[in-house]
Structure 1
């Protein structure tokens, strides 16, 4: 699949919001823009020009050793899968997806298995913003009580398997526009066991996001077909793959263009929503590109791209360009760098102040996290004696920086909260 075929011309039919390659937003809707523009912020901080943070490379070896130890503890054979939502479906050591696919007779139908996997994992990723410290999900079938990402993953898995995301009772294992459009907060609250006694952060925002997802895919038949179904992306990709190869960076670019209109109340450029994209003053005077002070992260969409690689591989596609994608700038990866002092806040109040996602301090911390994860990955590979080809970035994240971020948080703070406070609306963190 080439980027030219993944991106429609401005007048293309069948797209909610077509983005031509010469549109001003196009330069920001890819992983290369994330890495390049975050690197500009890193240069700003390393030059000592930031009033918010300082960068301490001398602390990186200790962080890398800790991550490597976490990897050896959890994956003694160093056979680490890609960082993805699929690991959360395995909470409690239970392979829910394999059991579901087998029971549904999908094992002998690789393309339909991939379609159902997409139907499952896309809404699950969009529901994966932070749950809050107080929320729990009870998996009665396996006698488990789960919190945070694992709880959200299993709750969304059960939401899907119940047929809630399908408009056709005879075909429950799918996610279509009609069912998404009618999903209300009460239905989501019941599925996630949320209540005043078990509060889930951003519940209204999560429900609204899924309804908006339904609207967008219904208005993008070029990718999602008619009637609109998320799993139809598999057919779009298959038709455009080259010798069965799909480039991870181009997959992300497709997702950003096809699903970008889903994100609410964000910065838009000439009618195109930029999603997880914010502003940083250091970029305004830089020569990165023509994007001005805009700084994209695309965290959830990159998390989604990582999560789609596995079902594509299982369907027989060959994935290339995995390291094009960046590390995910969120509170476990970024919290790890804060806890080890690799990133240091100049004002100690940073750690106790509740921040909105567009606050300059949060934007800068996330930019440092993206570049910091690239540097951490190199150091972790050195600790493990592995090459980038043998241990790509998504393995470092899974093995890895995310788990190590949670581990160090639990060692340093009761209950394991991250070393900062973010006010979440359920659509970024």
Structure 2
């Protein structure tokens, strides 16, 4: 069964299994959704307009956590780098891993009532940007270690819901979705990295994954798929209450009864988002990242919402949008699987319209430019607070 686990951890498996559901949708054999591919061109045009608004020169950065740290055009990361300039280049990169890994794991949807007041600027942030700035400040204040500007197992194991609540300014009037789930995730991260000294060193720091990845580079080239594999192997045990095979936790993998055999559909949304967020610190070490387009789009509610709000996807029973659904429901599994496949098609259509290639505009840039921003924009124009078109019952560890 180890071969099956390895397969389910691959981007190929994500595309394979999602494509099986997509093929069923093409012949209208899914329970919850139908496709309207005549909407592909209008959706691509909408996303292109958003890209041109955000990046007129089409010089789009990667879709990663680093973009959230830049909100408000405030040079937070540069200010942190200034404090770290006495460290070697590899130690600076390790600090960036130590920052971004817990920040990504804390990134699941905050809900539409939570806000974060940034002390340094006096500005208030919400949603992903708020979570990013809150986790950035927490890291700088030593929330995840006894050492400055570091994350380690000892610090992570001391995390409690109360500590997260304090750092994230949570009160009865400022509730954060999935507070306990986020706390448990960081605690489990601390315990998990202790079990893999080959990945995280004897001092059990997330940042030590840098050493492992540098060793796996080939003449200065490092495959994004190698980074994802390290993420899935290194952090796989942190996901509580998920499906497993032979005692191995599968993570963001769910079942759909329309598939044959094991019926498993992998997504690895947060793990791919984390992988995308690790690439830039690796590039600072002179590594060239390859195989970017082997990774998949992120099946979350902004990208999925774009497809639904602009008619590429349609709920067969619109009343199902009136109540929340758990991540393991077949409705959510269908929505996410179809989103993965549609993002590939949207990206292909955009490249044709702009005369670009998968090298000049890889999927990770289409997401940033891009579909995620467009999904947020269309949601804001259609619903109060920009909530997604389908509500998800989240414990703070999936989306």
**Same structural fold, with TM-score higher than 0.5 when normalized by the shorter chain:** yes
What residue in structure 1 maps to residue 154 of structure 2? 178
1:163 and 2:163 correspond: no
User: What residue is the counterpart of 2:47 in the other structure?
Assistant: 67
1:278-298 deviation per Cα after TM superposition (whole angstroms, max 9, x unaligned): 00122226xxxxxx2000000
Structure 1 residue 230 displacement after superposition: 0.6
Pairing 1:237–2:217 present: no
Match of 2:75 in 1: 95
In structure 2, how many angstroms separate the alpha carbons of the residues matched to 1:50 and 1:239?
A: 45
Conserved? CA contact 2:178–2:394, under 8 Å: yes
What is residue 277 of structure 2 aligned with on the other side?
A: 307
CA drift of 1:140 comes to 2.4
Shift of 1:202: 0.2
Q: Is 1:357 the counterpart of 2:334 in the alignment?
A: no
1:140-219 alignment to 2 at 5 Å?
Answer: 140-168=119-147, 172-219=148-195
- Of the structure 1 ranges 143-152 and 380-389, higher mean CA displacement relative to structure 2 is found in 380-389
Q: Does 1:120 align with 2:90?
A: no
Residue 381 of structure 1: aligned partner: 351
Deviation at 1:27, TM superposition (A): 1.3
Aligned to 2:63: 83
Alignment match of 1:296 (pick from 243, 266, 272): 266
SS of the equivalent of 1:295 reads strand
SS at match of 1:337: helix
Is residue 2:232 matched to residue 1:256?
yes
- For the aligned residue pairs, the C-alpha RMSD in angstroms reads 1.1
Q: What is the distance in 2 between the residues matched to 1:266 and 1:28?
A: 14
Query: For residues 127 and 207 of structure 2, what CA distance do their matches in structure 1 show?
Result: 26
Shift of 1:122: 0.4
Tell me whether 1:348 sits opposite 2:324 in the alignment: no
Query: Following superposition, which runs of at least 4 residues in structure 1 exceed 6 angstroms of deviation?
Result: none
Match of 1:408 among 357, 378, 384: 378
Question: Per the alignment, in what secondary structure is the counterpart of residue 24 of structure 1?
Answer: helix
Quote the offset at 1:241 in angstroms: 1.4
Partners of 1:381 and 1:136 in 2: CA distance: 37
2:339 to 356, 359, 369: 369
TM-score by length of 2: 0.98
Indicate if the aligned counterparts of 2:153 and 2:191 stay in contact, CA closer than 8 A. Answer: yes
Superposed displacement of residue 228, structure 1: 0.5
Quick one: distance in 2 between partners of 1:79 and 1:112? 29
Offset of 1:262 from its aligned partner?
Answer: 0.7
Is contact 1:30–1:256 with CA below 8 Å preserved after alignment?
no
Q: Is the 8 A contact 2:84 2:92 kept in 1?
A: no
Once the two structures are superposed, what CA deviation does each residue of 1:30-79 show, in whole Å capped at 9, x if it has no partner?
11111111011100111111121101100111111010000000101111
CA shift for structure 1 position 220: 0.9
Could you tell me how far apart the structure 1 residues matched to 2:252 and 2:178 are? 16
| Long gaps (5+) in structure 1 | 1-20, 286-291
Q: Give the distance between the partners of 2:195 and 2:112, measured in 1 at CA.
A: 37
The CA deviation at 1:22 is: 4.4
Contact residue 307 and residue 313 of structure 2 kept, 8 A: yes
User: Could you tell me how far apart the structure 1 residues matched to 2:55 and 2:74 are?
Assistant: 17
| C-alpha distance in structure 2 between counterparts of 1:198 and 1:317, whole Å | 42
Cα deviation for residue 380 of structure 1 reads 1.5
| Structure-2 separation of matches of 1:308 and 1:113 | 13
Which residue in the other structure is 1:284 paired with?
Answer: 260
- Secondary structure of 1:354's partner? coil
Structure 2 counterpart of 1:394: 364
TM (norm. structure 1) is: 0.91
Alignment of 1:37-76 (within 5 A): 37-76=17-56
- TM-superposed deviation, 1:98: 1.4
**Post-superposition offset of 1:258:** 1.2
Q: Residue deviations 1:145-166, cap 9 Å, x none?
A: 1000000000000010001111
- Is 2:111–2:127's contact at 8 Å kept on the other side of the alignment? yes
Mapped partners of 1:68, 1:361: distance in 2 = 29
The number of residue pairs the alignment matches comes to 399
- The CA distance in 2 between the partners of 1:371 and 1:23, in whole Å, is 24
Report if aligned partners of 1:92, 1:144 keep a CA contact under 8 Å in 2. Answer: no
Q: Contact between 2:21 and 2:30, CA under 8 Å: does it hold in 1?
A: no
Q: Deviations over 1:6-47 (max 9, x none)?
A: xxxxxxxxxxxxxxx944311101111111110111001111
Q: Tell me, yes or no, if structure 1 residue 226 matches structure 2 residue 226.
A: no
